[in-house]
């Protein structure tokens, strides 16, 4: 999607951090932007930082609430019309190690990180496909969705691996509609994502908490990351890996997986034929997805 001006983007978790960086990048390129966030303080920050334009609209949203996501999609369409860019960006974590997490810990993280992404797709994709003007979906995963992580981040990683997997498949599915898909896998960014977990959870559970937490220092500037995302959309890149320090670790992880495959094996002809058909279908869909935007 090369042309941004006059088009509309919807961003979850858009009131701070990475989402706020995307919002500014899109506004700078002439888009209408709807920022959705659960915390009023984050929405207030977004209005203060980005309110020099009438192309910004803020919505308080719990992404795990499907009806609320439906209403947000309807509100966005009423206000700005067709949606061209969907950023399923919101993400939360929790404190317990993966081997000690209770049902409520799993439900909280998965309902927001994975369930919120699914809700965004269910409510926004029909309209994006129907208007026929193409567009782009950005799903925020994490480097925790690419490589093993310590136990304290295990539940979070499970949700982010799922987001990465669905994004790979979604890219193939949406290519015939002219809609690209990128999965964003950041490392450390100057956000409140890890320190605001308790606050998000209290607000999510209706406890009314709405306070600011400390920003993670030493990470990438979220406004720099927003520009990286916009550039990836313009070039229809399937993966957005902004943090080069992970390259060798990812290579080692994937090489370990490759080494686990048998080199010599027997293959039944029916199985071979089935796998060849599947591989051909995947290759054809991938070629179509990768070709989006090349003629623009």
Alpha helices in the chain (DSSP H): 17-28, 40-50, 66-80, 103-113, 115-131, 154-174, 197-204, 222-234, 247-259, 269-291
Work out the end-to-end distance of the chain between its first and last CA atoms, rounded to an integer number of angstroms.
8
Query: Distance between CA atoms of 74 and 208, rounded to whole angstroms?
Result: 26
Token pair in block for residue 181: 């898909």
Q: What share of the chain is helix, strand, coil (3-state, %, to 5)?
A: 55, 10, 35
Q: Which residue has the tokens 């915390």?
A: 39
Residue (of 164, 186, 75, 73) closest to 121 by Cα position: 73
Residue (of 91, 93, 104) closest to 149 by Cα position: 93
Catalytic annotation, pick one of 108, 156, 177, 239: 156
156 catalytically annotated: yes
Cβ atoms of 122 and 79 within 8 Å: the answer is no
Active site residues: 156
């Amino acid at each position: 999607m090369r042309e941004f001006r006059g088009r509309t983007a919807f961003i979850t978790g858009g009131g701070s951090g990475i989402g706020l960086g995307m919002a500014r990048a899109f506004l700078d390129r002439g888009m209408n932007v709807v920022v959705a966030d659960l915390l009023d303080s984050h929405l207030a920050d977004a209005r203060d930082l980005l309110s020099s334009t009438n192309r910004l609209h803020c919505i308080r949203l719990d992404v795990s609430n499907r009806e609320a996501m439906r209403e947000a999609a309807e509100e966005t369409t009423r206000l700005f019309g067709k949606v061209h860019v969907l950023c399923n960006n919101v993400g939360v974590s929790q404190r317990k190690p993966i081997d000690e997490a209770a049902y409520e810990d799993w439900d909280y993280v998965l309902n927001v990180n994975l369930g919120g992404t699914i809700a965004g797709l269910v409510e926004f994709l029909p309209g994006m496909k129907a208007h026929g003007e193409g567009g782009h979906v950005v799903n925020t995963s994490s480097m925790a969705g690419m490589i093993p992580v310590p136990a304290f981040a295990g539940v979070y990683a499970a949700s982010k691996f799922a987001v990465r997997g669905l994004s790979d498949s979604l890219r193939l599915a949406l290519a015939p509609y002219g809609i690209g898909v990128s999965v964003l896998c950041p490392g450390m960014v100057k956000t409140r994502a890890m320190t605001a977990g308790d606050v998000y959870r209290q607000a999510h559970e209706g406890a009314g908490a709405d306070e600011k937490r400390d920003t993670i220092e030493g990470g990438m500037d979220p406004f720099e990351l927003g520009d990286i995302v916009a550039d990836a959309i313009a070039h229809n890149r399937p993966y957005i890996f902004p943090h080069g320090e992970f390259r060798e670790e990812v290579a080692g992880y994937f090489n370990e997986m490759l080494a686990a495959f048998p080199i010599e094996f027997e293959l039944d002809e029916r199985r071979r034929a089935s796998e060849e058909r599947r591989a051909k279908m995947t290759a054809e869909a991938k070629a179509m997805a990768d070709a989006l935007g090349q003629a623009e």
